[in-house]
Structure 1
Amino acid sequence: MSLLRTLDRTTCTSAISTPASRPILAFLCPLLYSEFSKRGFARNSVARRPRVPAPSADLMDSFFIQALVRAGSCQEHRRNMSASRRILPFPTKHHKTRRRHSVTLERKELKSTKSEGGPFKRVRQFAKGELQALVDYYGIKIDSEPEPEPELLDDGPLIWNVGDDHQPWPVKEPIQTVIIEKLEELIRDESSSHAEIYTCYRLLPTPRIVYLRSKTIRAMLHHLSIVERPNQRSMHRFLSILDDLKTAHIHVTRSEWTTAIYFAARSLGKVSADELQSALYVWRDMEKRADIQGGFVTLNVLFDAAVKAGKYTLAETFIKEMHARKLKFHRHFRISLLYYYGVMGSGDAIRRTYQELVEAGDVVDTVVMNAVIASLIRAGEPTAGEHVFERMKRLHAAKSNPSPMPHDWRERRLLGLKLTHESGKLDKDTEQYEDLQDSAPMAPDSRTYGLLIRHQAATAGNIDRVTELLEEMARDSVPIDGTIFIVILYGFNSFGGVRYSSWTRDKLERVWSEYLASVQDGLERTYFSPMSVIVGLKAFRRCTNPERTLRAWEEVQQIWKPKPDESEKVLTALRRLVPKHPFFNGNM
């Protein structure tokens, strides 16, 4: 309730109008009585003398309160207060100018030519504050809009781009020399794990990076940049060493900045707007603060991240930036363009980009054809994708000296780099280029079959075509990828358990047995995870009974030793599949 409303209504009005109060009020604020109010009153009100109650203690209290309020609304007092504020200003960060909203009040009987002020305005503000404080339990001030982040002043490049003339600091103890020699030995071995190298590096005293030679630093960052699939740990290792370089004012190369952008965008698997923003921040530091302009690989990484994050306008901006910088489109960027046009659903753009890739002299291999098939399926042309698949097999059979298919991800990476760089150096009319194109593998691999099986199992629901593709993989000795088992199990969950369905229990048992054997044998990219196990359990619950579903979980536990959180996820999903089962009496 407002403070002014605690006073008696009649007392409040009479105290202001009493003649005894006017000299003191005029003494407190003389400007209040320099002009008389222009408000009109009826004749009876003017002729009749107001009834004034006898003075009392309450009357004096209300009188002084009214006097203070009127003094606070005086213009002369406001000037004095504003002058004192100029002498002792408030911090601008916590006290910002608020907008004043003009409110027009229309009254039928009484109209005032002057804006309403004084105690009445304060009463309204006080009442509004009371209403706003009804839910203010913690006493925290909540801003209507978040404060904008301060703009980083671009005063030119920082010290990060100094010349690469770093000289290592002398070690303080002999044990540090042993650590450095051990680290260099690990770096020379390509099979050394990233965790082992990073742990050895952390044994050096702070600042660690300054004790290493420039050659050792470059080799270590290059080793840590080669990963099959980026994750948070690999990103943390690389970016922490990059921070050590910047702190020590040691030069960071363009390729190392590009790798940092790649880790920032792809470390969580699925690229979202947050990961894309992190990558853009690193790119800003690279070009605006370190004064190192990104090349075609840098913009390719940013373009791919923008497409995967669904920011297609930003992706088009990166294409325009490549044109503005007069950067040549290379093989990997055109593959990213195929994926982009597939997401956009433009089959004609996919074919046009493929034709430009061939005319530019880039080597066509299995990776390029997989991108074409995936893009056509994503664009809603699965029949065209099947047609490309059949032509792949015929073209590979017509090659005279094709290279063997790479067996692991490291070999695939080296082959891709070789085809990209060598094709850019050779003229497509030369014999060397023809030999390079003839040696490029064109046969379908696990990725190719996985694309087709995923469409047939998850979208078309054609188990017969899935069986044909699996038999073809076994005949051509193409290893089954772990993701293939997952999409097939997803097909059983989507299309099984229905009368006259081809997704039968017997076929599910065969696929499940092959999946268990592949995980036990340790095939590439074939493992158990909470997601894959839950998909399998859903397939069994769809096509079988609760007892067989629980037995499938027991078969998984014989091979896979899940972590507590992973086991909890599976058991939570299993409880929803078979509720009120006695199995959970001792497990949940």
Structure 2
Amino acid sequence: MRVSSRIDGSICGAILHVLYPPLSPLRPSPSLRSSAQSPSSCSSSRLPTASQQPRRCLSLLATRRRPSPLTLSSSSRRRLLLCVQALQTSRLRFDGDPAAVRVNHAAAATVENSGPEPEHEGYAAPEPQPLPSPSSSSPNPSTTTGPAITPQQPQTRKKQKHLKPIRRPLTKEELLALVDPYDDTEEIGRVEDYLQYLRDPYMRGYAEPEQPKVTLARTAEDEEYPSLEQVLEPADEGTRHVLWELRFAVLTRLRSPHKVDLDHIYELYQRLPEPRMLYLHARFRHQLLRALGQPDERDSASMLRYFAVIADVKNTGIPLTTAEWNCAIVFATKYVGRVTDVEVDTALKLWREMELEAGIRATDVTFNILFDVATKAGNFPLAEMIYREMESRGHRYNRYHYTSLIHFFGLKHDTSGMRAAYREMVEAGEIIDTVVLNAMISGLLRSGEEAPAERIYERMKALSLGPSSTNPFSPNSPPILPVRTPLSDRFITQALLMLSKLSRRHPHAQPHLQDMAPLAPDLQTYRILANHYGVKRGDLGRVAAYLDDMKHFHIPLHHSIFLALFKGFARHGGYPRSPWSEQRLEGIWNALLQALDAAQEGEGGIEVRTWLAIWCLRAFAKCAGSRERRVLEVYDVLKARWALSPEEEQFMGDFLSGLVNRGFGK
């Protein structure tokens, strides 16, 4: 769900007033509050001095310019409250089942109707304290014999009382201290210095060719065609009923994605007569494209479905918006697991069509998508060209660009560039969250710097467990449990962008705004660590320690974790006295079956996919004693539990035949 770009300073003031009324840097003085309440006292009060002007402006922002619910539309107020509630629920402490955290309309209404919270010391700026030592909570792989994986059992839901946030606000110096340099004498330069070092020096003496300037005549009426008065009237009652069902399904999908499947929406759309788009007014067309552009997983089926609807729009002569072009570029590049030159060429062709034929200028989001695609494909000269083009057009960096820069330098094994990008992100007032720290951990591990990556992980654990706990894993200090879903991730991302805007406007409030960002390890953190230490290094003891941490943080098991474990058994098992033994493989297999049975009962989200089944069969073919018989048994059990398409089942049958014919690697 996208938040309108027209949300200005009044909304920012509303967020500051709702979330942090007792902020000491922003709290107006009693005289100002009394003058704001009494019109008669305003005329008799003295004018503020020059030193009191910032406090006066901020007090007006928190009092007189605070918008009432009637000044905003219902949709804008609802989007704003959902963003705020998504961040608040991700930073609270809960003692019961983490599934009790929900971002719903009832919680958003509670935030809307509630008044300012009473002042307490949880939001006061404390004295700076050093970060906890990572050595006190580091895992001990030597004492771990194997990964103890048990599926998450559903807990009895109880009404829990929300406690106050326990983590104190982090300053810029403490955020910079999360990522340490090589040594104390290292001086990290600007990101531009490291990019200039990577460029070819012989290309600097030539002027860049002038870009073609193409402008097309476009008006607001073209984008909003057809209107309610211009749509085609259904010829029969059946078409009218299909339109009603399609509108209801699209609106339900946008509000509750788990209730309506996108295949059902596309099937209803296909039942409309040609030309289908002329039966949909402009607002309904944008809602349909937004719903189809937010699938549960971007694969080839969702990509073909989206481009089929885009083709109907273009054939009708209706222009696409910038967001719809960006979504098309994302679909053309992220429907596969590994980005190649084919996807890069497709993205560049869509960009050319967007600017030269449609006459729509690329935004900062477009350049970030292109930069990310070129980086993941390994085309670093193209990524640098896109970076320079974005700079020449004057686009401002945001959290997406800085995170992509960190990933870019990580792929080039340039850890100094990663640290420079992270430092500039902090200095720019952007909010640091788990996604940014995961990018740092991934790049450091890829570059061979395991010790700095582990220190970042230990600091994430220390911040999430709270500074007051001496033993990070004591039962008296339960961890902060953020519940992440695709819908809440979109809300949190939009809220972080808004908080970054507030941080740049009000630098004194930056530590308190940073305190709202989630910094605890999530599923992606343990996925990165399991793939590095399990698949690449073959360190089963370290993987077992991270799985214990994952269980302590109540992070549910995911098929990506099982995929990393089966990859480790397939690559490092099968020889005598190996820690990746057949007994431990059977324990992982039993845990997977229990998790699949729980998922079928609606208690989890694990499912058998093609790659998981392939590496599971390879692991048993490498480690099992009676290999042929055991592999066939595992295949039959997986076949009874997967939900693959006929083409995927045929592929799995061919893979099993090839595995048997090769004699299991003998």
Sort the TM-score into its range (normalised by shorter chain).
0.5 to 0.7
In 2, distance between residues paired with 1:537 and 1:487? 13
Quick check: 1:362–1:423 contact (8 Å CA) kept in 2?
A: yes
Q: In the alignment, what sits opposite 1:121?
A: none
Q: In the alignment, what sits opposite 1:530?
A: 610
> How far has the Cα of 1:432 moved from its partner?
4.6
Go from structure 1 to structure 2 and tell me whether the alpha carbon gap of 1:576 and 1:242 turns closer, same or farther (over 3 Å shift). closer
In 2, distance between residues paired with 1:279 and 1:418? 28
> How far has the Cα of 1:525 moved from its partner?
5.9
Go from structure 1 to structure 2 and tell me whether the alpha carbon gap of 1:308 and 1:273 turns closer, same or farther (over 3 Å shift). same
Q: In the alignment, what sits opposite 1:142?
A: none
2:391 to 313, 318, 323: 323
Go from structure 1 to structure 2 and tell me whether the alpha carbon gap of 1:159 and 1:235 turns closer, same or farther (over 3 Å shift). farther
Mapping 1:476-495, distance limit 5 Å:
476-495=553-572
Q: In the alignment, what sits opposite 1:184?
A: 247
Question: What letter corresponds to residue 199 of structure 1 in structure 2?
Answer: E
In 2, distance between residues paired with 1:203 and 1:304? 37
Structure number with bigger Rg: 1
Q: In the alignment, what sits opposite 1:543?
A: 623
Q: In the alignment, what sits opposite 1:42?
A: none
Is the partner of 1:277 in helix, strand or coil?
Answer: helix
348-357 or 264-273, which moves further after superposition?
A: 264-273
Does residue 520 of structure 1 match 2:587?
no
Question: What letter corresponds to residue 584 of structure 2 in structure 1?
Answer: K
Quick check: 2:406–2:418 contact (8 Å CA) kept in 1?
A: yes
Q: In the alignment, what sits opposite 2:139?
A: none
Is the partner of 2:395 in helix, strand or coil?
Answer: coil
Is the partner of 1:219 in helix, strand or coil?
Answer: helix
1:511 to 574, 588, 608: 588
Q: In the alignment, what sits opposite 1:552?
A: 634
Quick check: 1:403–1:439 contact (8 Å CA) kept in 2?
A: no
> How far has the Cα of 1:217 moved from its partner?
1.1
Question: What letter corresponds to residue 223 of structure 2 in structure 1?
Answer: D
365-374 or 491-500, which moves further after superposition?
A: 491-500
Is the partner of 1:363 in helix, strand or coil?
Answer: coil
2:423 to 346, 351, 355: 355
The Cα offsets for residues 43-95 of structure 1, whole Å up to 9 and x where unpaired, read as xxxxxxxxxxxxxxxxxxxxxxxxxxxxxxxxxxxxxxxxxxxxxxxxxxxxx
Quick check: 2:277–2:285 contact (8 Å CA) kept in 1?
A: yes
> How far has the Cα of 1:562 moved from its partner?
4.8
Quick check: 2:434–2:520 contact (8 Å CA) kept in 1?
A: yes
Q: Percent identity?
A: 30
2:231 to 161, 169, 180: 169
> Relative CO higher for 1 or 2, CA cutoff 8 Å, sep ≥ 6?
2
Q: In the alignment, what sits opposite 2:504?
A: 427
> How far has the Cα of 1:248 moved from its partner?
2.4
In 2, distance between residues paired with 1:479 and 1:466? 16
> How far has the Cα of 1:208 moved from its partner?
1.2
> How far has the Cα of 1:406 moved from its partner?
2.8
Go from structure 1 to structure 2 and tell me whether the alpha carbon gap of 1:306 and 1:579 turns closer, same or farther (over 3 Å shift). closer
Go from structure 1 to structure 2 and tell me whether the alpha carbon gap of 1:238 and 1:560 turns closer, same or farther (over 3 Å shift). closer
In 2, distance between residues paired with 1:554 and 1:164? 54
Mapping 1:75-474, distance limit 5 Å:
157=216, 163-166=222-225, 167=227, 168-175=230-237, 176-189=239-252, 190=254, 191=257, 192-398=260-466, 404-427=481-504, 429-430=506-507, 432-474=509-551
Quick check: 2:333–2:373 contact (8 Å CA) kept in 1?
A: yes
In 2, distance between residues paired with 1:577 and 1:535? 12
Go from structure 1 to structure 2 and tell me whether the alpha carbon gap of 1:580 and 1:502 turns closer, same or farther (over 3 Å shift). closer
Is the partner of 2:223 in helix, strand or coil?
Answer: coil
Go from structure 1 to structure 2 and tell me whether the alpha carbon gap of 1:178 and 1:571 turns closer, same or farther (over 3 Å shift). closer
In 2, distance between residues paired with 1:506 and 1:287? 59
> How far has the Cα of 1:502 moved from its partner?
1.3
Quick check: 1:160–1:249 contact (8 Å CA) kept in 2?
A: no
In 1, distance between residues paired with 2:435 and 2:422? 12
In 1, distance between residues paired with 2:506 and 2:219? 44
Q: In the alignment, what sits opposite 1:28?
A: none
Go from structure 1 to structure 2 and tell me whether the alpha carbon gap of 1:201 and 1:505 turns closer, same or farther (over 3 Å shift). same
Is the partner of 2:222 in helix, strand or coil?
Answer: coil
Go from structure 1 to structure 2 and tell me whether the alpha carbon gap of 1:441 and 1:402 turns closer, same or farther (over 3 Å shift). farther
Is the partner of 1:345 in helix, strand or coil?
Answer: coil
The Cα offsets for residues 368-409 of structure 1, whole Å up to 9 and x where unpaired, read as 111111111122222221111111111223379998513322
In 2, distance between residues paired with 1:221 and 1:399? 46
Quick check: 2:214–2:356 contact (8 Å CA) kept in 1?
A: no
> How far has the Cα of 1:532 moved from its partner?
1.8
Structure 2: unaligned runs, 5 residues or longer: 1-211, 469-477
Go from structure 1 to structure 2 and tell me whether the alpha carbon gap of 1:498 and 1:315 turns closer, same or farther (over 3 Å shift). same
Quick check: 2:430–2:503 contact (8 Å CA) kept in 1?
A: no
Structure 1: unaligned runs, 5 residues or longer: 1-152, 582-588
Is the partner of 2:550 in helix, strand or coil?
Answer: helix
Quick check: 1:161–1:251 contact (8 Å CA) kept in 2?
A: no
In 2, distance between residues paired with 1:222 and 1:291? 21
Q: In the alignment, what sits opposite 2:38?
A: none
Go from structure 1 to structure 2 and tell me whether the alpha carbon gap of 1:439 and 1:403 turns closer, same or farther (over 3 Å shift). farther
> How far has the Cα of 1:524 moved from its partner?
6.1
> How far has the Cα of 1:224 moved from its partner?
1.5
Go from structure 1 to structure 2 and tell me whether the alpha carbon gap of 1:221 and 1:561 turns closer, same or farther (over 3 Å shift). closer
What TM-score comes out, normalization by structure 2 length?
A: 0.60
In 2, distance between residues paired with 1:234 and 1:427? 38
In 2, distance between residues paired with 1:431 and 1:397? 26
In 2, distance between residues paired with 1:398 and 1:428? 29
Question: What letter corresponds to residue 552 of structure 1 in structure 2?
Answer: V
In 1, distance between residues paired with 2:383 and 2:604? 33
Quick check: 1:428–1:434 contact (8 Å CA) kept in 2?
A: no
What TM-score comes out, normalization by structure 1 length?
A: 0.68
Question: What letter corresponds to residue 184 of structure 1 in structure 2?
Answer: R
Aligned length in residues? 429
In 2, distance between residues paired with 1:407 and 1:349? 30
Go from structure 1 to structure 2 and tell me whether the alpha carbon gap of 1:398 and 1:358 turns closer, same or farther (over 3 Å shift). farther
The Cα offsets for residues 329-383 of structure 1, whole Å up to 9 and x where unpaired, read as 1101111111111111111111111111111111111111111111111222222
441-450 or 498-507, which moves further after superposition?
A: 498-507
In 2, distance between residues paired with 1:159 and 1:507? 64
CA RMSD of aligned residues (A): 2.7
Is the partner of 1:310 in helix, strand or coil?
Answer: coil
In 2, distance between residues paired with 1:328 and 1:486? 39
Go from structure 1 to structure 2 and tell me whether the alpha carbon gap of 1:557 and 1:348 turns closer, same or farther (over 3 Å shift). same
Question: What letter corresponds to residue 171 of structure 1 in structure 2?
Answer: E
Quick check: 1:160–1:246 contact (8 Å CA) kept in 2?
A: no
